[in-house]
Amino acid sequence: MFSKEYAREMFYWGVPALYAAVAIAAGFTIPLLEDRIFPGFVSPMSLSSATAIYSSIASGMIALTGIVFSLAFVMVQFSATAYSPRLVGWIARDRVILHSLGIFIATFLYGVAALAGIDRRGSGHVPFFSVCLEVALLLASVGMFIALINRVGLLQINRMLAFTGDQGREVISTLYPPLNSTTGPDTTSDDFGSLPPSQTLIHHGGPRIIQAVDVASLVNLAKTFDGIVQAVGAVGDTVIELTPVLHVYAARGPIPERRLRNGVELGKQRTFEQDPKYAIRLLVDIAIKALSPAINDPTTAVQALDEIEDLLLRLGRRRLEIGNYRDGEGKLRLIVPFPTWDDLLLLAFDEICSCGATSMQVMRRMNALVVNLIQTVPKERQPALELWAARLKVMIARSFPESEERRAASMEDRQGLGAPSRHLSG
C-alpha cells in the first residue's frame, strides 16, 4: 500500500544523497586513476594556486547551498500563505530544487575530496582532469543557480494556476475516455448488492488518503478468485483506523490480504493521479482565499475560474461513468466510485459562489462560465448547469438589492469587469 509513496520519498532525499556519494567517490578515485594511467598529464598551475581554487570553490558552495535552502523555504512559505497549503508539497519537491541542491553539495564535497590528490606522493603535480572536473562542476552550479532563481517565477499567480490546471488536464485525458469512444470502462452495473461481502479489507493505522487504485491488478485478482472487488472509498477519501477499504463478493475463497492491499495506494496527502477533483479543489482553494476579506482579490478568483471552466469543459465532453471494470470475458470484477457530473459542479461552484456572492466581478464571470458550458456540453449534462444558472440569479438578487447593480452583476463577462456580452434575463 505504501510502496509508491515510499519510492517518492526515497527519490526526494535520495537525489542529493546520490550526488554527494558520487562526488566523494570521484574526488578520491579520479586523481588516483590519473596518477596511474596518465602520470605525465598534469596541470600547469602551481600547488598553491590549485589549493586556493579548490578551497575557495568548496567554501563558496557552503554559502550557496544556504541560499538554496533559503529560497526553497521562501517558496514553500509563500505558496502556503498566498495560495493553498496543499500546494506546499508540490513546490517543495520541485526537481530543479532537488538537482540544484545536489550539484551544490557535489561541488563542495568533490573539491574537499580532490584536495587529497594534489601533490600525490610529493610529486609536486596537480592532476589535470581533476581540476577540469571541479571547474565544470562550478559552471554547472552557476547554471543551476540561475535556473533556481528563474524557478521562483513559478510563484506568480498565472503560473501557479496554469500548473494546477495542467495537472488536471493530464489526469482527465488519461483517466476518462471521450464520449464518442467505442472502448473504455463499462458503464452498466450487475446486480450483486443483495450479496453479503465474503471478505472485507480493513485499514489499520493512522489516517491515510486513497491516492490511486491499481485497476489491472484488482481485476486480475478478482478474476483469479472468481469474485467481485468493490472499493468502499473514492480516490481522495481519507481512511482511518478500522475503516473498510475493499469489499469482496462471491469469491471462491479468501483472497490474500497482502495482495488486496497492494491494489490500493495509500499515502499522507492527495495526489493528482486518478483524482481530477484534486486539481479543481486546489483552484477553488486559491479562489476562495483570494476572496477572503483579508486578501480581497477577486481578479485572482476570476483567473482561477478560467482554469476551472477549462477543466469542466473537458470533463463535460468525457465519459464520467467509469467505475465498473470487467475482465476479458465481460464479467464485472471491480467497482470504484468516481464523482458524477453533479459532484464536480458542486465542488467547482459552491464555495466560490458563497464567498464571491457580493463580488460583481465574480458573479459576472460565473454567469459567462455557466452559459458557455451550457452551450458546449452534451444535452444530458445541461440540466445541472441550468440549475446553477438559476442559483446564480437567486444569489445575485440576494446580494445586490439595487436594480442597477443587479442588472450589472447579471451580465456575462469572461473578464469579470471587462467587455460583457449580454445580461441574463429575469
pLDDT of residue 95: 79
For residue 148, give the nearest of 95, 204, 227 by alpha carbon: 95
- Domain C-terminal end among 114, 132, 155: 155
Q: What is the pLDDT of residues 108-148, one digit of tens each?
A: 888 888 877 676 665 666 777 888 888 899 899 889 888 87
**Residue 72 counted as domain residue:** yes
Q: Are the C-beta atoms of 280 and 305 separated by less than 8 Å?
A: no
Amino acid identity for residue 92 in this structure: A
Tell me if 187 is assigned to some domain: no
Examine residue 248 and state whether it is found in any structural domain, yes or no.
no
Residue with cell 596511474: 36
Q: What CA dihedral angle connects 294, 270, 19 and 21, to 10 degrees? A: 120
CA-based diameter of the chain, in Å?
94
Contact, 291 vs 362, CB < 8 A? yes
210 backbone dihedrals φ, ψ, rounded to 5°: -70, 110
For 288, residues 6+ apart whose C-beta sits below 8 A from its C-beta are: 301, 351, 352, 355, 356
Q: What is the per-residue pLDDT for 2?
A: 44
Q: What is the pTM of this model?
A: 0.79
Sign for the CA dihedral angle at 78, 84, 89, 93 comes to: negative
Query: Is 129 within the bounds of a domain?
Result: yes
- Under a CB-based contact definition with an 8 Å cutoff, are residues 415 and 302 in contact? yes
Q: For cell 471478505, what's the residue?
A: 199
How far apart are the C-alpha atoms of 273 and 170, rounded to whole Å?
A: 9
Among the candidates 139, 155, 171, a domain finishes at 155
Give all strands (DSSP E) within 177-282, no chain letters: 199-202, 208-213, 228-231, 238-239, 244-249, 264-267
Please indicate, yes or no, if residue 36 is contained in any of the structural domains. Answer: yes
For 184, which DSSP code? S
DSSP H or E stretch at residue 146: helix 128-151
Q: What is the dihedral of CA 6, 11, 16, 19, to 10 degrees?
A: 120
Counting the structural domains of the chain, the total is 2
Show which of 99, 133, 155 is a domain's final residue. Answer: 155
Place of cell 475516455: 177
The span from the CA of 300 to the CA of 291, in Å, is 8
Q: Please list, in sequence order, all residues whose beta carbon lies within 8 angstroms of the beta carbon of residue 199, skipping any fewer than 6 positions away.
A: 247, 248, 251, 254, 255
pLDDT in tens, 365-420: 999 999 999 999 999 999 999 999 999 999 999 999 899 999 999 999 998 888 77
Predicted confidence at residue 187, as pLDDT, reads 46
Handedness of CA 176, 178, 180, 181 (dihedral sign): negative
Residues of the chain with pLDDT under 70: 1-12, 39-41, 72, 75-76, 78-80, 82, 85, 88-93, 117, 119-125, 153-155, 181-194, 422-426
Q: How far apart are CA 78 and CA 65, in angstroms?
A: 20
**Residue 175 resides in a domain:** no
Task: Give the structural domain span for 100.
Answer: 3-155
Q: Name the grid cell of 98.
A: 532537488
Instruction: For residues 359 and 356, give the distance between their C-alpha atoms in angstroms, rounded to a whole number.
Output: 5
Query: Rg of the chain over CA atoms, in angstroms?
Result: 29
Residue 272 placed within a domain: no
Task: Examine residue 309 and state whether it is found in any structural domain, yes or no.
Answer: no
In 3-state terms the chain splits into helix, strand, coil percentages (rounded to 5) of 60, 10, 30
| pLDDT computed for residue 9 by the predictor | 63
